[in-house]
Chains A and B, each alone.
Chain A
Amino acid sequence: GENVEQHPSTLSVQEGDSAVIKCTYSDSASNYFPWYKQELGKRPQLIIDIRSNVGEKKDQRIAVTLNKTAKHFSLHITETQPEDSAVYFCAASITGNTPLVFGKGTRLSVIA
């Protein structure tokens, strides 16, 4: 089955700096790669996703890149703000076929 590795497990950045979280996956058939943000005591919520026919996607301060050959994908957050502090999860699945398999999460702390 699919295995998703995520690094780093914790990340501290100064407000205004960029943050990068990296994930690798094992199943070359996976074609859907979402990123979820989970604030303390809340449910995970989708912030951005990318499908295997696209190499990069951007939404305001958030961008994701995907390298299918190397089977890795990354989340980039620019101009970080204190409200970006949360646990971020990457995930992978085969669209419409398998449940999301999550990485172990990255706890991001943005220091004001």
Chain B
Amino acid sequence: DTAVSQTPKYLVTQMGNDKSIKCEQNLGHDTMYWYKQDSKKFLKIMFSYNNKELIINETVPNRFSPKSPDKAHLNLHINSLELGDSAVYFCASSSQGAHAEAFFGQGTRLTVV
């Protein structure tokens, strides 16, 4: 069974559209994240979310909004897509205890045209 799964794997869309990426984890973790990996391969945290709190990275435009219907899911909704949003988006999860290993989903390659 896949521990962290995200859909879709590929997403091609036009500028100005709104799109969502879904993420689910079956590890029982209480913390989930979204990372953005740009063309230079830099992995940058966008959001982290646990039972109690959504932590918003101030450098993320408010066109990006995470939504967590429950502990096992953290979806990412993006409004008014721009060319610069093209990247690979990774969902990840971890526990809050001593073992803080982050498990990553397979990534969603978003291409805005």
List A residues at the B interface (Cβ < 8 Å): 32, 34, 38, 42-46, 49, 87, 89, 93, 95-102, 104-105, 107
Which of B33, B40, B95, B106 is close to A43, meaning CB atoms less than 8 Å apart? B106
Q: List 6 A-B contacts (CB under 8 A).
A: A43-B105, A44-B90, A96-B100, A102-B45, A104-B40, A107-B41
CB of A105 within 8 A of CB of B98, answer no
CB of A105 within 8 A of CB of B42, answer yes
Please give, as numbers and ranges, the residues of chain A lying within 8 Å of B45 by CB-CB distance. Answer: 99-102
Interface residues on chain B, size class: 20 to 34
CB of A93 within 8 A of CB of B106, answer no
Please give, as numbers and ranges, the residues of chain B lying within 8 Å of A49 by CB-CB distance. Answer: 101
- Shortest distance in angstroms between A82's beta carbon and chain B's nearest beta carbon? 20
List B residues at the A interface (Cβ < 8 Å): 31, 33, 35, 40-45, 48, 55, 90, 95-98, 100-102, 104-107
CB of A105 within 8 A of CB of B101, answer no
Interface hub of B43, B90, B102, B107 (most chain A Cβ within 10 A)? B43
Interface hub of A44, A45, A97 (most chain B Cβ within 10 A)? A44
The 7 A-B pairs of least Cβ separation, nearest first, read A96-B96, A43-B104, A102-B43, A99-B48, A95-B100, A99-B45, A105-B41
Complex alpha-carbon distance, A62 and B104, angstroms: 21
Complex alpha-carbon distance, A95 and B95, angstroms: 9
* Chain A residue at minimum C-beta to C-beta distance from B40: A104
- Shortest distance in angstroms between A16's beta carbon and chain B's nearest beta carbon? 26
Complex alpha-carbon distance, A46 and B94, angstroms: 12
CB of A93 within 8 A of CB of B100, answer yes
Complex alpha-carbon distance, A99 and B50, angstroms: 11
Please give, as numbers and ranges, the residues of chain A lying within 8 Å of B101 by CB-CB distance. Answer: 34, 46, 49
Complex alpha-carbon distance, A111 and B42, angstroms: 24
CB of A44 within 8 A of CB of B43, answer yes
Please give, as numbers and ranges, the residues of chain B lying within 8 Å of A98 by CB-CB distance. Answer: 48
Which of A45, A93, A97 is close to B104, meaning CB atoms less than 8 Å apart? A45
Interface hub of B33, B41, B97, B106 (most chain A Cβ within 10 A)? B41
A43-B104, A45-B104, A105-B41 known; A96 vs B48 contact (CB < 8 Å): no
